[in-house]
Chain A
Amino acid sequence: MAILDNSKDAATISITEQIEASRYFEVEKSIHSAKDIEAIFKQGKVKLAVVFPQHFNEDLQHFNKAQVQLIADASDPNVANTLNNYASAIIMDYQNRITHDRKMPYTIVPEMRMLYNPELKGAYNFVPGVMAMVLLLVCTMMTAITIVREKEMGTMEVTLVSPMKPFRIVMAKAVPYFLLSSVNITSILLLSVYVLNVPINGSLVLLVAESLLFTLVSLSLGLLISSKAESQQTAMFISLVGMFLPTVMLSGFMFPVENMPWPLRTVSNIVPAKWYYTIVRSVMIKGVGLHAVWKETLVLTGMLVFFLGLAIKNFKIRLA
């Protein structure tokens, strides 16, 4: 979180200290003007900003009433709500403490502002999540199953005895699912814009490019699974338990990753969907450019190279 303190008096410093002392927040940095707020939200590090107006303490002393503004990054409504509640609670706590021995109660009124998603619409949250899930499901599971199915049927063996290069066979199996995913991406985006009224605030080209990157990661995961699994059931099981569940649970789509205990937070880093989910939310809802999501993009690219390399290597070993 960030704190913009326009007042810098006893009261605001005391509240800031309490926020810093609580285990829910880490104050990333203090900012000095309202213009900076937009910028740090776009960087994605800050999820909540607390803005104290000028003369905060004076207002409090003279009128027994003061205002504080809480600005939350509501591109993830769940997180935004939770953060707001925590921050409000800390401020309330301070208010009660200073009121304690006085007859006239002090009131600090927190004013909340939900950035990017003022109505706290769930669609802002689940559109990116559903995109990650659908792409993963189609690419990973279907690719794995279709190749393992050929292994089971015995057709794979006959194809491998032919002069066809294994690499070409595998690519030929992956291409239809890549095309299918492109259709999926298009239809999800159309639905979300025209039916759910979720805007695409960032560059559409970047969003599609990132989605295709994620599709490739999923495809190579599918290939990897198919090179290991010997039956369709195994392939399905690995795809569901190994891919689908972590995507739902650990990508931040259902439960905010920030609230998880550290072992789960660590594990969530190897879930490709987590990175993709962050990218889609940033690009689609926040409208940021590549400069804000280059790290996530790099992680996904790394995963693609790793999984694809492993999958191709496994296919070759099987033939040796």
Chain B
Amino acid sequence: MDSGKVITADKLTKKFGGFTAVDHISFEVNRGEIFGFLGANGAGKTTAMRMLSGLSLPTSGKATVAGFDVYKENEKIKRNIGYMSQKFSLYEDLTIRENIQFYAGIYGKSNKFIKDKTELVLQQLHLKSEADKLVKSLPLGWKQKLAFSVAIFHEPKLVFLDEPTGGVDPVTRREFWQLIYQAAASGITVFVTTHYMDEAEYCSRVSIMVDGRIDALDTPSGLKKTFNASSMDEVFLKLARKATRAAD
């Protein structure tokens, strides 16, 4: 496989009974790219992401992640990816430091690696003085930034972010995107779903899912040109209006 491609999906499909959540999607994601995965609620974004991260088996189609097959090599995939779920998913009853140590530990990192990198991450997030406080006590924006740092702590090739900035204020969102850029610059490919169209503008390339299919895939400027729109918002509205599926 081409080493420049981190994800390849070919006619990837997921059916739940008679309902086709993801309908023959095909796309590729390049190394170091920030790939925006857009779509209305219920369009199938999370299902697609769960298939790629090895949480759910596809019904049909082919896909590789970090060079490994999603059917047979999902254990190898798991070692090479990070994942940040839609829900905030750190242990609220553990301290910031304990959370970092726990998640690094389950990825099998050495104690020395964990110790050194924890200090680095805490410094980066300006959380050094708070390190031994419970995660519960942090404001949401900080929690999300911490969750992201935890997701890329074990230095994966690829990180999946499922609506990472939901409910976060604009200032923190901007800071969050700075973290994403830093990660991308260090060679981590970022696969992100979002509802915010201004965030879509930050992505290298954007795909828009409607009713389980990918209806558009291009750079943000390319999409605006194709759809004769002045902003991503307009592009999205033009596409989403065609949706027949009820939003959840």
Do A157 and B55 have beta carbons less than 8 Å apart? yes
B92 cross-chain contacts in A, Cβ below 8 A: 153
Nearest CB of chain A from residue B138's CB, rounded to whole Å: 15
Residues of B within 8 A of A160 (CB): 55
Instruction: Report the number of A-B residue pairs with Cβ-Cβ less than 8 Å.
Output: 46
Specify which chain A residues have a CB less than 8 angstroms from the CB of B151 in the assembled complex: 158
Residue-wise, chain B 29-57 has the 8 Å CB interface mask toward A (1 for contact) of 00000000000000000000000011111
Across the interface, do B54 and A161 meet the contact criterion of CB distance under 8 Å?
yes
B177 within 8 A of A: no
Cα A278 to Cα B92 with chains together (Å):
43
B91 contacts chain A at the CB level, 8 A cutoff: yes
Question: Interface majority SS on B: helix, strand, loop or mixed?
Answer: loop
A163 near B75 with CB under 8 A, answer yes
**B107 part of interface (Cβ distance < 8 Å):** yes
Minimum CB–CB distance for B81 against chain A, Å: 7
| B213 within 8 Å of A (CB atoms) | no
| Inter-subunit contact B55/A163 (CB<8 Å) | no
Q: Are A158 and B75 in contact (CB under 8 A)?
A: no
Within 8 A of A (CB), among B53-74: 53-57
Interface size counted on chain B using CB atoms at 8 A: 24
Does A104 belong to the interface (CB within 8 Å)? no
Are the C-beta atoms of A157 and B85 separated by less than 8 Å? yes
B57 touches A320 (CB 8 A): yes
Q: Does B83 touch A at the CB level, under 8 Å?
A: yes
A contact face: mostly helix, strand, loop, or mixed: helix
Least CB distance from B216 to A in Å reads 28
Q: Which of A158, A162, A164, A320 contacts B85 (CB 8 A)?
A: A158
* B222 contacts chain A at the CB level, 8 A cutoff: no
B78 at the interface (CB under 8 A from A): yes
Interface 1/0 per residue, A145-169 and B, CB below 8 Å: 0000000011101111111100000
In the bound assembly, the distance between CA atoms of A146 and B91 in angstroms comes to: 13
> By the criterion CB–CB under 8 Å, are A161 and B107 in contact?
no
When A and B form their complex, which 8 residue pairs have the shortest distance between CB atoms, in order from nearest?
A: A154-B87, A154-B89, A161-B83, A158-B89, A163-B78, A162-B106, A320-B57, A164-B106
Beyond contacts A153-B87, A160-B55, A162-B78: 20 other A-B pairs, Cβ-Cβ < 8 A, are A154-B85, A154-B88, A155-B89, A155-B90, A157-B85, A157-B87, A158-B83, A158-B84, A158-B85, A158-B103, A159-B106, A161-B83, A162-B106, A163-B78, A163-B79, A163-B107, A164-B106, A319-B55, A319-B56, A320-B57
